[in-house]
Amino acid sequence: MSKSRLVTYACPYCGKDFEATIYDMINVEEDPDLRDACVSGDLFRVSCPHCKKEFMNQFPLVYIDKPHRFVLWLSNDLPGSSLLQISKPLSDIGYTLRRCPTLHEFVEKIEILEDGVNDVLVELAKYDCFIEFIDNKKGTAEDVTSIEYQHTTNGVMKINVRADDKGMSFHIPIAMIEEEMAENEELFEIDNERFPTINGDWIISLYQDAAGEA
């Protein structure tokens, strides 16, 4: 069952207090509408009843998807003891456990894991696309504003690299990324039980460590 509660906000625009609902836990099998509210951002969009202005508010959230067998922890903080107590049993039965520091990563992670794709492969593919974007002289590293997972269809992953008003789309066979990962399998080992953060910073740190630069 999903769990929610009322909290008091101080509007950043008019300064007046008001109450709004936040969720501590979402079970999307029981409340599929909340899944859509997460992906659209509506769950985190707060409207002040006094001045009518809206703002986004990220709050710690446990997101459970039983059909796709994953649990996400949306927070800048490491998971507490209550989450870690259930992490090993969940990991043992094949659940993917991840911590997402930002809403953008949270939404993207939902889409990746719903597609049934290994998110480690996704981050490796995104990194390779970034390198190819630079090597093809489509822009500099400083020009790149985002690298986004789009979808996976028939074993082919689509990644978009964006740089201001331009960009480049890549279609990457998953089998090719799996081969690349297998060549250095130890580099990509993770501790699933600790709710690891698997994102762009993580993949860059791997290569920095391997090169002795970190």
Q: What are the 10-residue block averages of pLDDT along the chain, 214 residues in total?
A: 94 96 97 97 96 96 98 96 96 98 97 97 96 85 92 96 87 95 92 97 86 54
Say if residue 62 is in the same domain as residue 105. Answer: yes
How many separate domains does the chain show? 2
CA 55 – CA 3 distance, rounded (Å): 22
Say if residue 140 is in the same domain as residue 101. Answer: no
CB neighbours of 174 closer than 8 A, spacing ≥ 6? 117, 121, 152, 155, 156, 157
pLDDT score at 211: 65
CA 179 – CA 81 distance, rounded (Å): 37
Quote the domain boundaries for residue 203: 119-210
Domain stop point among 91, 114, 137: 114
Say if residue 12 is in the same domain as residue 101. Answer: yes
Domain stop point among 114, 142, 165: 114
Say if residue 98 is in the same domain as residue 175. Answer: no
Element (H, E) at 98: strand 96-100
Give 12's strand partners: none
Query: How many Cβ atoms are within 10 Å of 154's Cβ, its own excluded?
Result: 6
CA 3 – CA 105 distance, rounded (Å): 22
Q: Is 206 helix (H, G, I), strand (E, B) or coil?
A: helix
Say if residue 129 is in the same domain as residue 197. Answer: yes
